[in-house]
Amino acid sequence: MPITTKAKSPGELEDWPAIREAIRRYVRTRTGRADMADDIAQDVLLRLIALRETQAIGSIFALAFRIADNLMVDTNRREIRQSGDLDEDWPCDAPSLDRVLDSRRAVEVLSSCLRRMPPLRREVIIRRRLRQESCRAIGNDLSMSSKAVEKHITRGLVDLRQAFERAGIEPVGE
């Protein structure tokens, strides 16, 4: 015996078993899962009946398919969240926590070493290595020969290498 309920307009009856079967076929075709089809079809009928009590529905089948689509999306999202499986094919552009911590430690060692350097050597290293200024430009600004600038750079780099070695940090991008 078909389950029917009165529609808003007098004498109109809904064929709930036909709607349920149409939704089951639709979900089964879209997902390939009979268990999901049964659950979603049941939820769709419950929601349609509740809506029918309070609102006039223009096309019951159109609304049923829309509700089914939304329920399929919700079900998939819930299953993904609950599965706990991470897709390892998703690359992450952010550095790992270990790399961030190692980089912070390297910056601390670099800063500490620069603070301990004589002021002239520190300025030469910063201008050459960080600001990419030429030895000639640094020498002209500081009234030094290019050879003297190169010696300050060499001594500064030796100081930095020793500081990194003492801290157990491998220098990168020499």
Residue 137 lies in a domain: yes
pLDDT tens for the chain, 174 residues: list them.
444 444 444 334 678 899 999 999 999 988 888 888 999 999 999 999 898 888 888 888 899 999 999 999 998 888 888 876 555 566 667 777 888 888 899 899 999 999 999 999 999 999 998 899 999 999 999 999 999 999 999 999 999 999 999 988 876 655
Of 33, 48, 83, the residue that ends a domain is: 83
57, part of any domain: yes
> Domain containing 34: what range?
16-83
- Is residue 9 a part of any domain in this protein? no
Do the domain assignments include residue 93?
Answer: no
Q: Tens of pLDDT along 52-99?
A: 888 888 888 899 999 999 999 998 888 888 876 555 566 667 777 888
Residues 139 and 145: beta-carbon distance below 8 Å = yes
Helix segments in 14-54, DSSP class H: 16-31, 34-54
Of 44, 51, 45, the closest CA to residue 75 belongs to 44
Structure tokens at 19: 């709607």
Whether residue 75 sits in one domain with residue 36 = yes
Q: Locate tokens 């309920």: which residue?
A: 5
CATH label of the domain that carries residue 115: 1.10.10.10
Residue 6 domain-assigned? Answer: no
Here the tokens at position 91 are: 């690359």
pLDDT for 85 equals 58
- In 3D space, the residue among 29, 53, 52 whose CA is nearest the CA of residue 41 turns out to be 29
118 and 77 in a single domain? The answer is: no
Structure tokens, 45: 């009928």
Same domain (yes/no): 56, 115: no
